[in-house]
Chain A
């Protein structure tokens, strides 16, 4: 006689449960992580302080957390549209890079000039760059029926090679000793810090606007409804006047534009030049953020902060506890798994049944 596990859909999911699930997942992950830290012979309490408490209480660290969270929020908000509609855009990293390339390209071509128009032009160019790049997997899916999952991923690598080509070739800083990087942008092309002596820039404001707009779109508009519906019930979306292809293209364009915007903001506000590796995997981390936030705009903003806290905390942990960065990576994977399992428990009840019953 053997048993099997059955998932029984819940009829209703209370808001409290919806809120508590990711929190519980975070808690479980923290407990497992703490146990591992203890196994490595370090104090889990100190680790908790360094990883979580310090980044949330120290003003310098908080600013750094928000700075790190900015691109994550922007990309994740875009990804919500895709993921809610069950369109698996996992190539946000590539769209992010294209945004940086196009926006950074404007900065390089206008190098030495000054003017208030340079920054807005860069932002627009970045958003368009990401948007156009995201339209490729979308069109491949709608026109040719090719799964978007791997095409969007493969385009990430193509974008990396494009960036590499540009900074080694035409856009290389002529005075940069042949190192693969562009000139450092002029002041007019740099997003200036919001506070004197700090590093936080206006990108955060744009990210928060994106959160608010997405919130309203999903709550109040037919389009938002159609996007969410097309994931679970494509016919309902059709009924709302949005057929599958249209939804696919639209969610990809939104997601690409936001990732592109994040890219140019990162290049302008943080890096200050084009160079290989400016993507830092943020486009992939944003996927975790989107899921951690249970595909809601506010959730995405909060979970971007959680992830940023971890990343900043990981650095302090290296400094003060000599804990390797690999531990943080492991923990982030673990955290995402806990959240995904929580999601299942949110939607289903577990039942153990006897086979054949």
Chain B
């Protein structure tokens, strides 16, 4: 059966047409169908949740012109079918929002050359496959400065998720930020080895506080570490979304994943016929990374944070300004006075001053 995409106007009709092997040609008011593949449930209040916020932003931005669909809980190892399912039901633009969807996305893209794909956090592209990612480490540099200023014990706890480059770069940026304002600062990292495991994340935060950390930051998705910090009267940061409501008095700020502008921009590109394959790795400047309100801190720290944010946004400050010395004491190769995007996206070393090793 040959399916030419974009010919189904209504959902129900589409299902029936599929069942009968018919594709009715003349449908009025063709809407652009945009599909999303999520690795978690939309209710994880972290990674997938934020992508879903972006999806809703598309619907809000183009009322009556687009229709969006998502499939949640798609296991990475078995995602090819789900992606194809979207491609063959007339979705013209498909966002696959986890690293593990890389190979399946490429496979499906090959079969559907007229469908445009956007793969988050990947590094392989094709004519109809773009990749996009966000410089979350920019936000981590800012919160590093805040933490470095505010810590009294000079020990900061970091709840890690998976030891992949994005997370390692985040730890380094955080530490460099903290050290720039407080040379004596130390960070301790505890890994949950999971993106989302509230109990374990909370226990990790507690272990870090037991070892003297008086500020907690996290690269995992649940608000548990923040809550545990608050329970002991310590300060902490939110992750992925504005987590203020989970600890109003103890949150300092949040690093917010804000996919909405990018998703709207790419949808517009398709609507206007201007979509092209690209690789985008940006952050504060393009609004893909947004900082929550700076609260519960003295004015001078708040000022420092805002200045840093502004500096990064305008390009005056770069978290990975050279020289960058790795843990082994060697300077990292450096061309334009700062590390390039490729070096950041594949980072697998700690900078000097961080104790411990990156786990396997």
Q: Which of B145-153, B161-169, B213-221, B328-336 contacts A (4 or more CB under 8 A)?
A: B161-169
Q: Which 7 A-B pairs have the closest CB atoms?
A: A278-B77, A169-B360, A320-B11, A168-B360, A271-B77, A318-B71, A178-B348
Task: Indicate if the CB atoms of B77 and A179 lie closer than 8 Å.
Answer: no
Give every chain A residue within 8 A of B203 (Cβ-Cβ).
none
- Nearest Cβ distance between residue B295 and chain A, in whole angstroms? 35
Residue of A nearest to B123 (CB): A177
Chain B 61-94 against A: per-residue CB contact (8 Å), 1 yes, 0 no?
A: 0000000011111011110111011101100000
Q: How far is the CB of A122 from chain B (nearest CB, A)?
A: 17
State the CA gap A264–B14 with chains docked (Å): 37
- Please choose the segment from B16-24, B176-184, B232-240, B307-315 that sits at the chain A interface, where 4 or more of its residues have CB less than 8 A away: B16-24
A229 close to chain B: CB less than 8 A? no
Q: A91 vs B70: C-alpha distance in the bound complex, in angstroms?
A: 33
- Find chain A residues with CB under 8 A from B164 CB: 177-180
Nearest Cβ distance between residue B350 and chain A, in whole angstroms?
A: 13
From B35, B69, B75, B99, name the one whose CB has the most chain A CB atoms within 10 angstroms. B75
Chain B nearest CB from A71 CB (Å) reads: 10
- Contact residues of A between 42 and 90, Cβ < 8 Å to B: 46, 49-50, 53-54, 57-60, 64, 67-68
A31 to B3, CA, bound (A): 32
Is B1 an interface position by the 8 A CB rule?
A: yes
Residue of B whose beta carbon sits closest to that of A197: B111
13 more A-B residue pairs beyond the given contacts A280-B78, A315-B71, with a C-beta to C-beta distance below 8 A: A46-B12, A53-B19, A57-B19, A58-B19, A177-B164, A184-B103, A199-B81, A270-B78, A271-B77, A277-B76, A319-B69, A319-B89, A320-B15
Interface of B is mostly: helix
Query: Interface size of B by Cβ–Cβ distance < 8 Å?
Result: 43
Within 8 A of B (CB), among A322-345: 322, 324-325
B165 and A177 contact, CB distance less than 8 A:
yes
Q: Point out the residues of chain A lying under 8 angstroms from B360, CB to CB.
A: 165, 168-169, 172
Residues of A with C-beta under 8 A to B84 = 60
B residues less than 8 Å from A179 (CB atoms): 99-100, 164
Q: Which chain A residue shows the least CB distance to B12?
A: A46
* Also in contact, A177 and B346, with CB within 8 A (given A315-B71, A318-B71, A319-B89): yes
Q: Are A272 and B81 closer than 8 Å at their CB atoms?
A: no
Query: A312 at interface (Cβ–Cβ under 8 A)?
Result: yes
Instruction: Name the residue of chain B whose CB is nearest to the CB of A272.
Output: B103
Decide yes or no: A54 and B89 within 8 Å by CB, A277-B77, A315-B81 being known contacts.
no
Do the beta carbons of B19 and A325 come within 8 Å of each other?
A: no
Q: Nearest residue in B to A170 (C-beta to C-beta)?
A: B360
- Contact partners of A321 in chain B: CB under 8 A: 11
CB <8 Å contact, A315 and B14? no
A57 to B15, CA, bound (A): 11
Query: Is B345 an interface residue, CB under 8 A from the partner?
Result: yes
Q: Show 5 A/B contacts (Cβ-Cβ < 8 Å), sorted by A.
A: A54-B18, A180-B164, A271-B78, A277-B75, A319-B35
Say yes or no: is A275 at the interface (Cβ < 8 Å to chain B).
yes
Cβ of A100 to closest chain B Cβ, rounded Å: 10
Closest to A324 in B: B72
| CB within 8 Å of B: which A249-282 residues | 270-273, 275, 277-278, 280
- A46 engages B15 (CB within 8 Å): yes
- The one of B16, B75, B103 in contact with A273, judged by C-beta atoms closer than 8 angstroms, is B103
Interface positions, chain B 242-290, Cβ under 8 Å from A, are none
Given contacts A54-B19, A179-B164, contact A275 B1 (CB under 8 A): no
Q: What is the minimal beta-carbon distance from A325 to any residue of chain B, in angstroms?
A: 5
Instruction: Please give, as numbers and ranges, the residues of chain B lying within 8 Å of A21 by CB-CB distance.
Output: none
How many angstroms between the C-alpha atoms of A318 and B36 in the bound complex? 11
List, in ascending order, chain B residues with CB within 8 A of A319's CB.
35, 69, 71, 85-86, 89
Interface set, chain A 151-187, CB cutoff 8 A to B: 165, 168-169, 172, 177-181, 184
Closest A residue to B77 by beta carbon equals A278
| Pair A325/B78 contact, Cβ less than 8 Å | no
